[in-house]
Amino acid sequence: MKIKVLTGWLVLSLMIGLSGKIYPQYFRAGEHTTGNHYVNIDPDTTLTGPNNHFTTLPAAIFPIDLNNDGITDVSIYSYGSWTNGSGYSEISITIADTGSCQVAFGNADTCHTPNSTYFLYYMAKSLKKGDTIGKNLAWVNSKLYMYYTNWGANVYSCRHGSFVNDSSGNYIAVRMPRAKDTLYGWIKVTNINFLTYTVQEYACSKSSAAIDEYENSVAIYPVPAGNSVTIETRLPGFTLMVYNPYGMEILQRRLGSGKTLVDLAGKANGVYIFKLVNGNSNLVRKVIKQ
């Protein structure tokens, strides 16, 4: 019996420690579930940007809507130009005008030192399948290069390929920070060379806010409680689970909006945990009965 009591208090301690907002903290490159936004580009799309000389041509751009809201979040961009024996080319990932998206930073340019002729390039991070995408990465909301070249007839030349083509693909890490949570995702890009690239697929996590968006809309009273507790909420639907002071579940019920009365008559005094669950999100409140 003592072992059960200790186990119960351990469960309660862990639940109290996890109470509050719970958001997905990471995503894995190349992986997704049925609950994510996922796009498989079939057939794969290969684009080659222009190498402009006399006639200026538009860049080769592939727009990506990560969270399927009809708005372009990032774009893969390829463009080149040359004149009189000097020129440059680039394949980069650019942020849409909304500025709501960020890309994982890999490293600074190792070819150039900023001066009056050259400026410093910043490279996107190249990930492999299964790599973790989360707070472990460095994030920026500006354009990042995947590949570029600079050349000239009588000046310093440089070629920098941050993305070494991998047989399992190269993955760009992206995220969308928001007030209530952060969406993480990836874009699989292969065949990266000079002005050519291929986009194969991309994925992004969905919002985990759910209950958290309405945290202030849930009231549990009175505190401390007596023989009954009232739950009042505007949430359209959730599952309520109540745990006694020993960590044992004593109630599970599907509830809707409005007021709900939870009967604690005859129950021992102590700390009870009220857990409200909606999808992948939950809200945990501690109630003291005395």
Whether the Cβ atoms of residue 274 and residue 284 lie closer than 8 Å to each other: yes
- pLDDT tens-place string over residues 148-175: 888 775 555 566 666 766 666 789 999 9
Give the model's confidence band at 199: pLDDT under 50 very low, under 70 low, under 90 confident, else very high.
Answer: very high
Among 66-80, 112-126, 195-209, name the one with the lowest average pLDDT.
Answer: 112-126
The pLDDT value given to residue 14: 43
Residue 222: which H helix or E strand, with range?
none
Instruction: Express as a percent the part of the chain with pLDDT over 90.
Output: 29
Look at residue 104 and tell me whether its pLDDT is greater than 90.
yes
Q: How confident is the model at residue 49 (pLDDT cuts 50, 70, 90)?
A: very high
DSSP state of 207: P
**Helix, coil or strand: residue 216:** helix
Mean confidence (pLDDT) of the chain: 80
pTM above 0.75, yes or no: no
Q: How far apart are CA 56 and CA 66, in angstroms?
A: 30
pLDDT at 10: 43
- Range in 184-188, 205-209, 241-245 with the lowest mean pLDDT: 205-209
Q: Which helix (H) or strand (E) holds 211?
A: none
pLDDT at 29: 94
**Token pair in block for residue 27:** 């995503």
The first and second tokens of residue 55, run together, are 């006639």
Q: Which two tokens stand for residue 241?
A: 């689970």
d(CA 287, CA 173): 41
Q: pLDDT tens digits, residue range 82-95?
A: 988 888 899 999 99
Query: Can you list the domains of the chain with their CATH numbers?
Result: 2-22+209-289 (2.60.40.3080), 26-204 (no CATH)
What SS3 class is residue 106?
strand
The amino acid present at 262, given as its one-letter code, is V
